[in-house]
Amino acid sequence: MKFFFPDSQDLVSPTYDFVHDEYSPLRVRQRDDRYAHEVLSEPAYDGVLVSKAVVDGSVQGAGKYSMPQRQRIYRMGVRAFFRLPKTTSTMGDCGSFTYANEPEPPYSVGEVLDFYEECGFDAGVSIDHVILGYLKHGQPISDDWYRRQQTTLECAQKYLDETQSRNSTVEPVGAAQGWDPISYSESVAELQKMGYKRIALGGMIALKTPDILDCLEAIDDIRADDVGLHLLGISRIENFDDFRSHGVTSFDSTSAFRQAFMDDRDNYHTVDTTYAAIRIPQVEGNVTLKRAILSGRVRQAEAISGERSALVALREYDAGKVSATAALESVLEYERIFIDPKKKSYEAQYRRTLEAAPWRSCRCGLCADHGIEIAVFRGTERNKRRGFHNLATLRKKIALRLEGVQQ
């Protein structure tokens, strides 16, 4: 089972100054900043997934890449652009969610294959048109859903024909869309007839796990033994064994990474559990806190003092100079300044994080380098590093599951 990390140009600066919260004046982002696989001492993923919509943009506008970055990935190729290890796989797709509201995909088959070939991807997913819905009992099938499924299948046939006529080195991956177990299995059956040996199941991100398993079980009835499935946007490591038993050989997801700064409490992951990162928002950078200061609810001098005291206390705790209780008291004093009075304190979660100090025993590389800073919820440099740590943890969970299966 291989894990692919979808690219969204997530990098960290190795020269970032955590004490003063500032970048080096000599920093050049693309040259100096580093991807997860460059700063972690443990593997973060087996491959990277890059969407054409992220690089080239779509009907919604420009993508995540600047013009110089876009020119560079086309000129250098995906492997050199990301400075990838030889063992890391690459896959491209179209980013169908970016044009989900359009009547038709905005790209031609030729344009998509040009993107895959010029960037040097190992594999590329055919054009799909995502179906934003799932059929419940008694619900009529939407004509739009049916059209999207047929468009996806027609594009898959044209894409496969194009790869064969060009004698392309890009491995073709057929995209399957559906709205229930039967429609997904029908899509997979059609793709198999075309000749696809690798099929990506799209449109499942919003589905509950039992619905995904129902679809995989239906696909089992028609799937050939030599056909492997890829789950687009799905991780759910707790269901790893179930997915694998149904022919899933790879998946991609940003969930573990994004939980580092998007989840309310499960921010720092270990193999066995999760912890809440300790929120120390920047007075000058936090919109909510700035509004509270402008409204007069919070005095700026008090906020700055509380922020500095909390950070110093956490660093002293990590250095063994003060107790976890003393550090927590400083954190809570600052929390009382910036937190919404209607919101419950994170005291219990912070105490658990501090007492466990999971970063001290972590071997991902970043935790050893940065200590408690990686457990602080504050700014992109700390938050992304914690996200990278979570990726390494997810990869470790996968390895442990695979070892268990092999034993």
Query: How far apart are alpha carbons 206 and 31 in whole angstroms?
Result: 37
Q: Please identify which residue in the block is written with the tokens 């998007």.
A: 262
Catalytic residue among 10, 56, 93, 128: 93
Q: Tokens representing 21?
A: 């919260």
CA angle (356, 10, 318) in 5-degree steps: 25
Residue 15 CA to residue 224 CA, distance in Å, equals: 50
CA distance 98 to 53: 7
Sequence-separated (6 or more) residues with CB below 8 Å from residue 367: 358, 359, 360, 374, 389
- CB of 261 closer than 8 Å to CB of 269: no
For 177, the token pair is: 């869309």
Is position 17 annotated as part of the catalytic site? no
Joined tokens for residue 250 = 């790879």
End-to-end CA distance of the chain: 16
Q: What single-letter amino acid sits at 227?
A: V
Annotated active-site residue in 7, 10, 180, 252: 252
93 has catalytic annotation: yes
Closest CA to 303 of 336, 340, 342, 326: 336
Positions marked active-site: 93, 252
